[in-house]
């Protein structure tokens, strides 16, 4: 039987080796990664991803496509530019028009179609996992990968349901480790605070899962207190995943910092304003349409009022002396007092002891007339 099976083999070992070399030297970066894969959504009636073997093969395909696309960029800034351009409106970021003209010619143009299709494939896999009610280690690995990748792509529609499913559903059946709980719950806290301003819900997550991350606590405290200095310093100290989530609150923090500076100062240094907002002055003026003037390295927020129209004026003489001119007080003309009329002493009956005082009532006058 052994020799019979070998005789029925259609290809030789040399041909197998040659075919394997042909497959291994294939350039996977030139494949049509922008086209969506053949699976559909389970919510639309496609149940093929409910099968465990299809889920595993599909997940490895998504990983390959994602890592291939991420590795095709020559530098990290080029990759960050594409990831931020994927969801500009949702993460409150702003890309000035001048940056597109000064970009290097070697930087590839953003291919948003590829990332959007990868996100769609992640959604197909999530719906397949939900349809099969799979809560094993593979489901845990798939959900964590989807959550981290979607955070870097600034897509809360993908990472928010994944994190909630991991913490509130999968953790009850297949418990997560303490580092995984601390990481995922920290992401959820930042999302609630930075995206929806739900600070009460963020602290509730912290209490439920016993999160111990002082950087996450400082970021949320900075948003609650309106402390933009603490927000910028915390954003520099966190990792890339937390920084991406904090990007969703950047525009509101900048607007709050501009309001604080505008209400407290007449003029500030450009470096000070850029430190408060975390953005260059030229980009700030274009993004928020600021009408402040720039003069000799300073930003003139409001001009001081003139001293005209006041009683106390200060002027400098040619000799350098300062002379104070005080307005002369207004002298009112003297008015002669009105003379009081003289009152003559009463005589006769009016001077008698029976006379009634002039300020008494009519009833008293009648009484003394009867007595007299």
The pLDDT of 231-259, averaged and rounded, is 93
Residue whose pair of structure tokens reads 């465990």 in the numeric block: 52
| CB within 8 Å of 65: residues ≥ 6 apart | 33, 114, 118, 121
Task: Measure the CA dihedral 348/351/357/362, to 10°.
Answer: -20
The pLDDT of 125-151, averaged and rounded, is 94
Residue 3 has pLDDT above 90, yes or no: no
The pLDDT of 283-294, averaged and rounded, is 86
More confidently predicted of 72 and 26: 72
- Answer for the pair 80, 103: CB distance below 8 angstroms, yes or no: no
Interstrand relation of 293-295 and 298-300 (parallel, antiparallel or unpaired): antiparallel
Helices (H), 10-51: 13-24
pLDDT at 87: 57
pLDDT at 70: 78
Q: What is the pTM of this model?
A: 0.67
Using pLDDT thresholds of 50, 70 and 90, give the confidence band for residue 225: very high
154-188 pLDDT, tens digit each = 899 999 999 999 999 999 999 999 999 999 999 99
The pLDDT of 301-319, averaged and rounded, is 55
Share of the chain above pLDDT 90, in %: 42
92-128 pLDDT, tens digit each = 455 555 444 444 444 445 557 888 889 999 999 999 9
24-38 pLDDT, tens digit each = 444 444 444 444 457
Residue 254 has pLDDT above 80, yes or no: yes
**Mean per-residue pLDDT over the chain, rounded:** 76
pLDDT at 72: 75
Q: Is 179 left (phi over 0), alpha (psi -120 to 50) or beta?
A: alpha
Residue 193 has pLDDT above 90, yes or no: yes
Q: Encoding tokens for residue 113?
A: 């179609």
pLDDT at 24: 41
Using pLDDT thresholds of 50, 70 and 90, give the confidence band for residue 359: low
Q: In terms of Cα–Cα distance, which of 333, 317, 334 is closest to 325?
A: 317
Residue 281 has pLDDT above 60, yes or no: yes
């Amino acid at each position: 039987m052994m020799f019979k099976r070998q005789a029925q083999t259609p290809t030789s070992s040399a041909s197998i080796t040659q075919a394997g070399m042909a497959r291994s030297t294939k350039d996977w970066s030139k494949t049509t990664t922008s086209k969506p894969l053949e699976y559909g959504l389970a919510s639309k009636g496609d149940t093929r991803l409910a099968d465990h073997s299809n889920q595993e093969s599909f997940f490895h395909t998504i990983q390959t496509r994602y890592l291939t696309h991420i590795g095709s960029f020559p530098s990290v800034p080029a990759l960050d530019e594409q990831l931020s351009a994927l969801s500009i409106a949702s993460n409150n970021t702003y890309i000035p028009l001048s940056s597109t003209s000064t970009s290097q010619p070697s930087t590839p143009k953003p291919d948003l179609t590829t990332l959007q299709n990868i996100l769609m494939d992640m959604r197909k896999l999530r719906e397949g996992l939900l349809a099969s009610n799979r809560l094993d280690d593979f489901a845990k690995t798939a959900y964590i990968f989807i959550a981290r990748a979607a955070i870097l792509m600034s897509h809360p529609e993908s990472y928010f349901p994944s994190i909630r499913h991991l913490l509130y559903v999968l953790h009850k059946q297949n418990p997560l480790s303490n580092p995984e709980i601390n990481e995922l719950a920290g992401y959820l806290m930042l999302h609630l605070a930075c995206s929806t301003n739900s600070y009460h819900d963020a602290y509730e997550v912290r209490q439920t899962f016993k999160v111990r991350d002082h950087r996450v606590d400082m970021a949320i405290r900075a948003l609650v207190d309106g402390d933009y200095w603490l927000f910028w310093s915390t954003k520099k100290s966190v990792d890339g995943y937390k920084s991406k989530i904090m990007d969703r609150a950047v525009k509101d923090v900048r607007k709050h910092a501009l309001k604080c500076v505008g209400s407290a100062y007449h003029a500030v240094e450009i470096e000070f304003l850029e430190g408060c907002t975390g953005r260059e002055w030229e980009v700030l003026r274009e993004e928020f349409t600021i009408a402040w003037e720039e003069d000799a390295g300073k930003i003139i927020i409001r001009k001081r009022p003139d001293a005209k129209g006041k009683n106390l004026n200060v002027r400098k003489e040619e000799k350098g002396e300062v002379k104070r001119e005080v307005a002369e007080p207004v002298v009112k003309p003297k008015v002669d007092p009105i003379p009081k009329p003289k009152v003559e002493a009463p005589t006769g009956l009016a001077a008698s002891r029976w006379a009634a005082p002039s300020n008494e009532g009519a009833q008293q006058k009648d009484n003394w007339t009867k007595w007299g």
